[in-house]
Copies of this chain bind each other. A is one copy, B any other.
Amino acid sequence: MKETTSGSVSNLAAVARLAGVSASTASKALNARSDVNEATRTRVESAARDLGYVPNALARGLMGGSTGTVGVITTDLEGRFALPILMGVEDALGIDRVLTFLCDARGDDARERRLVEELVSRRVDGIILVGKQTDVRPSLGRGLPVPVVYAYSMSDDPADLSVSVDNVQAGYMAAQHLVDSGRTKIAHISGEAPHSAAQRRSQGLLNLLSDRGLELTGQPMFGDWTEGWGRAAAALLLDSGREFDAILCASDQLARGVLDTLHERGITVPTQVAVMGIDNWVVLAQNSRPALTTVDMQLQKLGRVAARRLQDATAGRSSAGIEYLPSSVVIRDSTIPRL
């Protein structure tokens, strides 16, 4: 990624423009791959010399410079985290300077280790390791010859840099929206208790309630991250006889299940009960009935920040620890009645 700051490396498109040919023709001329007439070849080579163009990323890499490649290792079979993060990396580094190797470790540590070795042997400028949960994971160790940034999941070595989402802030903001829109009796349905996301989102909710002198309705209801648990937990909550005017769900999937049960019991959302999710998994949140107010975890931004931290590390400005990024509320129809 050095070229992103030095600015001295021209790209093929610039050579092609100067030579007045297509990039494809310029590439053929420079690589002697296919039939390009002699005059064109001479013109392209002259343009390349004028611009100080180094023929390709392979050559630049061998010359000891940047290869203009970054490795992203994901374990995300659904692509829900990997794609937005990839897009953020593309935005931060520019597709004309850096391309991304995306590799899927399939949740297998041995495969992850092999992928790291392959990426190192290809001289990537850096590696971003994307976890599928916001939990602490084992560090790859300090011996790697390229910088590594942990994204979403956090490394257990404080000497590593991790960029993750601020789940406490997400829970806090969600609760703030509910209280600011007039709700005072908030119940909370969450996912797997051992997950950092479940604990920290709950903590944020409790912090806001405490700041406002309110109390949670009942205890947080931990279960798993499925719609099924959302449906069951909402039924348990209704059957408990507790009074509530809002349910904060720790994920959009949970919220979908909660909406189903409320609908089935004839409870109107948001008039009688407001329902809110966290994640902004658009396909679920936008198509629910009513459309779901939720918290966007800003994964594309997370990709941009992780990529910039890799650039910083390459330029000798390493940082360490966990960097939490803020999320933002997306208001749809499940928390505030339409006027």
Q: Give Cα distance in the complex from A87 to B82, angstroms.
A: 13
Question: With contacts A83-B83, A122-B56 known, is A100 near B103, CB below 8 A?
Answer: yes
Which chain A residues numbered 300 to 339 have a C-beta less than 8 Å away from chain B?
A: none
> Are A117 and B31 in contact, CB atoms less than 8 angstroms apart?
no
Contact call A121/B78, Cβ cutoff below 8 A = no
A33 near B99: Cβ-Cβ < 8 Å? no
Check if B87 sits within 8 Å of A121, measured CB to CB. Answer: no
**A262 on interface, CB distance cutoff 8 Å:** no
Q: A112-123, CB under 8 A of B: which get 1 and which 0?
A: 001101111111
A20 at the interface (CB under 8 A from B): no
Interface of A is mostly: helix
A228: B residues at CB distance < 8 A: 287
Question: Is the CB of A211 closer than 8 A to any CB of chain B?
Answer: no
What residues on B are CB-neighbors of A33 within 8 Å?
145
Bitwise, A2-24 to B at CB < 8 A (1) or not (0) is 00000000011100000000111
Given contacts A27-B145, A58-B58, A118-B95, contact A103 B90 (CB under 8 A): yes
**Cβ of A74 to closest chain B Cβ, rounded Å:** 8
Query: Provided the pairs A78-B83, A82-B79, A86-B104 are in contact, do residues A145 and B31 lie with their beta carbons within 8 angstroms?
Result: yes
A282 — which chain B residues lie within 8 A by C-beta? 78
Report the separation of the CA atoms of residues A12 and B86 in the bound assembly, to the nearest whole angstrom: 27
Contact A27 B83 (CB under 8 A): no
Q: Does residue A137 face the partner (Cβ distance < 8 Å to B)?
A: no
Note all chain B residues with C-beta closer than 8 A to A240: none
Q: Are B99 and A11 in contact (CB under 8 A)?
A: no
List A155-210 residues whose CB lies under 8 Å from chain B.
Answer: none
Contact B118 A104 (CB under 8 A): no
Residue of B nearest to A113 (CB): B23
18 A-B pairs (CB sep. < 8 Å): A12-B121, A13-B117, A22-B143, A23-B120, A31-B145, A34-B145, A56-B123, A76-B83, A77-B83, A78-B282, A83-B104, A90-B103, A95-B114, A95-B115, A95-B118, A96-B114, A99-B118, A99-B119
A interface, CB within 8 angstroms of B? 11-13, 22-25, 27-28, 31, 33-34, 56-59, 61-62, 67-69, 71, 76-80, 82-84, 86-87, 90, 95-96, 99-104, 106, 111, 114-115, 117-123, 143-145, 226-228, 231, 253, 256-257, 260, 263-264, 282-284, 287-289
